[in-house]
Amino acid sequence: MPAPVLLIGGSGFVGRSVAARLTERGYPVIIPTRHLAGADQNSRTPLVRWVAGSVHDPQFMETLLRQTGASGSVINLAGVLHDKPGAPYGPRFKAVHVDLVQSIIDGMQSSGVRRLLHMSALGADRAAPSMYQRSKGEGEQRIRSSNLDWTIFRPSVIFGARDNFINLFSKLATRFPVLPLACAEARFQPVSVENVAEAVVRALAMPQTVRQSYDLTGPEILTLAQLVRFAARRAGHARPIIPLPAWLGTLQAWVLEHLPGPMLMSRDNLASMRVDNVLPAGSLSALDTVFGIQPETLDSLLK
């Protein structure tokens, strides 16, 4: 039987797909969660063990790593998209993208667990325009500076049947007759959650991926406006899109930041979109070149 995998963020959008692929290959999977009652019922198999607790608690992290064992691996998928303003980033970004990463590194070094697979983001850089990208970049740097057997994945925006991106705009298209849109010409190279999950799991059995970083993208470069049009069409409600000038887009994001309920858009999201979220010119996605995976197009969501 393969060695155990500690899957941090295993209850999330990407985590569910990764967990499914791990169990298909016979990996015992440990998934920490703060809400045991809400654990994904589809992941309740003999190979998956849900453990109640906070990964931000060093003692709990130590317990998890001890259960994983020195021959096991850690996959870190933890991430947040929104935060309050801060310098160089806000407290939630710091807690999840930096402090948690450091806690994982420290715990692995003291427990003897060596293999770490980490989910970062395309555009992550400590000098990037947005807090999100800066915090992700700091997390990457700490991992690169460690002596662990790490692999870093840097996907563009990830789409799937249960994503929070395409589905958000699909919902908006059902509620509003027109869609005012900031950064309408920002470019993305959306990648399928199934492709990303498959690459992560394949990397576990590929020693050549140790101490390597991989950009993961799909085959299409699309503007935000094109993505929103697709989302509206998928929802069955084609809507006109009104591109907003920068100042009005910033105002719109400020208003959305202060509405009650889950945050839809922030000024930090706009800052992230100042840099196109695509592969550098002349580069190829690691999906096919390294992992032998045929990248899916966005239209796969229509099947």
CA distance 301 to 16: 17
CA distance 26 to 43: 13
* pLDDT attached to residue 188: 96
Q: What is the mean pLDDT of the chain?
A: 92
CATH of the domain at 290: 3.40.50.720
Residue 19 structural domain:
5-158+191-217+279-295
Taking alpha carbons only, the member of 222, 213, 89 closest to residue 153 is: 213
Q: Is the distance from CB of 73 to CB of 6 less than 8 angstroms? A: yes
Please check whether residue 150 lies inside any domain of the structure. Answer: yes
For 231, half-sphere exposure in the C-beta direction (CA atoms, 13 angstrom radius) is 28
Please check whether residue 271 lies inside any domain of the structure. Answer: no
Q: Is the pLDDT of residue 186 over 90?
A: yes
Our count of domains for the chain comes to: 1
* pLDDT attached to residue 36: 72
Q: Is the distance from CB of 33 to CB of 52 less than 8 angstroms? A: yes
Please check whether residue 240 lies inside any domain of the structure. Answer: no
Please check whether residue 208 lies inside any domain of the structure. Answer: yes
Please check whether residue 121 lies inside any domain of the structure. Answer: yes
Task: Supply the angle between the helices 224-234 and 166-175 in degrees, to the nearest 10.
Answer: 60
- Tell me the pLDDT tens digit for each residue of 18-75: 999 999 999 999 999 987 766 665 556 789 999 999 999 999 999 999 999 999 999 9
Please check whether residue 255 lies inside any domain of the structure. Answer: no
- Tell me the pLDDT tens digit for each residue of 73-95: 999 999 999 999 999 999 999 99
Beta strands 115-119 and 149-155, pairing class: parallel
User: What is the three-class DSSP state of 91?
Assistant: helix
Please check whether residue 283 lies inside any domain of the structure. Answer: yes
Please check whether residue 45 lies inside any domain of the structure. Answer: yes
Taking alpha carbons only, the member of 110, 117, 131 closest to residue 216 is: 117
CA distance 246 to 27: 48
* pLDDT attached to residue 38: 61
* pLDDT attached to residue 27: 97
Choose the weakest-confidence range: 61-65, 173-177, 212-216.
173-177
Whole-number CA gyration radius for the chain: 19
